[in-house]
Amino acid sequence: MSSDLTQRGASNSLLAANVEKTVLPNGIRILTDSVPHTHSATYAAWVGIGGRDEPAQIAGASHFLEHLLFKGTSRRTAVDIAIAIDGVGGDINAYTASEYTAFFARVPSSESELALDVLLDLVSDPALAEKDVEGEREVILEELAAAEDDPEDLVGVRLFECLFPQHPLGREVLGTTSSVETVSREQLVTFFQQWYQNSNLVVTAAGDVDHAAVVSAVESAFADATTGESPTRVKPHEPVGTVLTETRSGELVHLAFGWRTGGVGSSDRFALALLNHVFGTGPSSRLFQEVRESRGLTYSISSGISQFSDAGALSVQCATSPSKASQLISVVTALIDDLCSTGITEEELSRAKRSIRGSVLLGIEDSGARGARLGISETLRRSVTPLDEHLELIDAVTQEQVLQAAQRVLGSARVLAAIGPASHTQSQESASAEKVIQGLEFLSQS
């Protein structure tokens, strides 16, 4: 068993987290962030398998298993699991991403032993009963239908299909109606047995937690598990500039712009974070101030970064009336051109650094956020950057580095997805979405 302890910063600061990491002989990695003065504890199991690791015929298997693990184990029913955590005022939940699936429980620290036992039980020993497979199949099909009915969600899905063409990163993690309808219990059990193994498992705990107790519990829960294998992933090839349009009923045209970026380990990730903040994060961003506040072209517009182990994306999403869509695209394009030619100002850079630092400091007061930071970093990068070092790297970014990031990312091939009505009937003077869409290709490549 190997163990390391990292302590950095002043002892009276939340940045001076007592982060410990233990790697068990069977391959499971355990990380804890001890903050003794808190009254909460968050425990999580991070399985390094997600939507990109599934064959197309069983797309959505990871998300399906996320549902099934809460249906019971050999020791507990689904009701037992819910009562155990809800009965102490805690929360238990999970979510599926492209490269991992996370299960977590947050409880008062006095209930840590219970929470850890329940969490490890459902991850290590799920029942995966046939009746539960059929019941959750219907639930997930309803979830898929709801996603398909929401153009705001759907335009983001379509954008990623174009950003990562013919690649699992461009696929909805829920799967498809066809794959969810046809996947069998045997296929799900095989998928679980193949991938929910020690080499793909990270367990984290944050808040008022005891590292040794977590290690002991994990050792006991996974005493009989095998080391297993890690997935082999194919890096996505570069996209070409393209436009995707889809006709849907409604009053608004939903737009999503996207560019490919590097992954979680790329050298420009800190410059890109600052660029994204100035460009479209929050009410002080250029997108919000120019598109929403100055011109009233949309109710809401923002940008965001999605990063995976070997690739990533910067995206912008908004909705507007068909009559305003062309103008909105032109304004966004002008803002992008300006960022690529002149970058950001020193004042914007300083403000973005202060904002990110403030968000980090506020976030680490929550045990869930502290645990998520450990789990995601270890799962995707196999390392965790200490908080003070992370902030130092943000502070060290220069205007020139942000300009270079803008030119590399925003100056690269652009993808635009649009979903809207075929015509706008409320006003004869309003342009139809169809006419807007005809102009999208030119505008997206300008």
Active-site positions read 66
What does the alpha-carbon distance between residue 435 and residue 144 come to, in Å, rounded to a whole number?
Answer: 30
247 bridge partner residues: 420
* Residues 26 and 198 sit within 8 Å (Cβ to Cβ): yes
Tell me how crowded residue 415 is: count the other CB atoms within 10 A of its CB. Answer: 26
133-141 LR contacts (CB < 8 Å, sep 24+): 133/64, 133/68, 133/184, 133/185, 133/188, 135/71, 136/64, 136/67, 136/68, 136/71, 137/64, 137/180, 137/181, 139/67, 140/60, 140/63, 140/64, 140/67, 140/174, 140/175, 140/180, 141/177, 141/180, 141/181
* Geometric angle at alpha carbon 389, from 384 and 393, rounded to 5°: 110
Q: 77: which 2 tokens? A: 């029913």
Terminus-to-terminus CA distance in the chain, angstroms? Answer: 57
Buried b (16+ CB within 10 A) or exposed e, 383-398: ebebbeebbeebeebe
Q: Which helix (H) or strand (E) holds 19?
A: strand 18-23
Q: What is the DSSP string of 385-406?
A: --HHHHHHHHHT--HHHHHHHH
The rounded distance, in Å, linking the Cα atoms of 172 and 168 is: 8
| 343: region left, alpha or beta (phi > 0 left; psi from -120 to 50 alpha) | left
